[in-house]
């Protein structure tokens, strides 16, 4: 927009008035309108730096809308339970061993090898993604892995103890 003699500027001006839906200029125009900058296209002032305000508006809209896809996704059920607002989690900086941080991130985002996730790719019905380690007939979910599976009882006792405070604040025995 600063160089009105440039080929890119001329193509943009030509395309923004076109009715072709695939022109990139229409996408830019729609984006600017969605961000509340439709007046910039017709009243562009080369002396104003619009970039900081545009960046701030992008961030604001992203934060306002980041959770919407999570609400409609059955896969993100576990993630929604503890991720209630947009921010960087403190554990990302507190865990200094890269592999542990990566594994925890994978677990939190359901990018792991538990049957609740792997069954999705194998087209196994959700209620048939059963833990194969013990015959408890329970779905091998994150909850089961962390709190119920007898395979990890010793680790839970060592690191958590015999009781656990669930999100509601109620102290309960672990499975």
Is residue 168 located within the same domain as residue 98?
yes
Residue showing tokens 């193509």: 11
Distance in angstroms between the alpha carbons of the first and the last residue of the chain: 63
Residue at a domain's end among 15, 38, 65: 65
Is residue 79 located within the same domain as residue 57?
no
Is residue 114 located within the same domain as residue 140?
yes
Is residue 48 located within the same domain as residue 110?
no
Would residue 1 count as lying in a domain?
no
Is residue 95 located within the same domain as residue 143?
yes
Give per-residue pLDDT as tens, 42-58: 787 878 888 898 899 98
Would residue 160 count as lying in a domain?
yes
Q: How far apart are CA 53 and CA 32, in angstroms?
A: 12
Q: How far apart are CA 150 and CA 58, in angstroms?
A: 47
Write out the chain's pLDDT in tens, 175 residues: 667 788 877 777 777 666 666 677 777 778 888 888 888 777 878 788 888 988 999 888 888 888 787 777 766 777 777 777 888 888 788 888 888 888 888 888 888 888 888 988 899 998 899 988 877 888 888 888 888 888 888 887 877 766 554 443 444 444 4
Supply angle C-alpha 102, 105, 108, rounded to 5.
150
Is residue 95 located within the same domain as residue 151?
yes
Domain that includes residue 44, residue range: 7-65
Is residue 122 located within the same domain as residue 37?
no
Give per-residue pLDDT as tens, 158-168: 777 665 544 43
Is residue 87 located within the same domain as residue 168?
yes
pLDDT, residue 62, reads 87
């Amino acid at each position: 927009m600063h160089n009105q003699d440039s080929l890119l500027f001329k193509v943009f001006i030509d395309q923004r008035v076109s009715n072709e839906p695939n022109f990139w200029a229409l996408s830019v125009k729609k984006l600017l309108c969605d961000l509340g900058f439709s007046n910039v296209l017709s009243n562009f002032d080369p002396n104003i730096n619009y970039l900081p305000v545009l960046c701030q508006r992008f961030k604001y809209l992203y934060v306002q809308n980041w959770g919407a896809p999570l609400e409609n996704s059955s896969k993100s059920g576990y993630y929604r339970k503890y991720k209630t607002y947009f921010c960087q989690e403190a554990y990302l900086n507190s865990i200094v061993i890269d592999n542990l941080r990566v594994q925890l991130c994978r677990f939190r985002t359901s990018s792991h090898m538990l049957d609740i996730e792997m069954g999705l790719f194998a087209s196994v019905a959700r209620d048939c993604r059963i833990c194969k380690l013990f015959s408890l007939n329970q779905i091998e979910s994150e909850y089961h892995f962390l709190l119920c599976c007898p395979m990890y009882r010793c680790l839970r006792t060592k690191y958590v103890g015999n009781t656990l405070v669930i999100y509601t604040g109620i102290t309960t025995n672990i499975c």
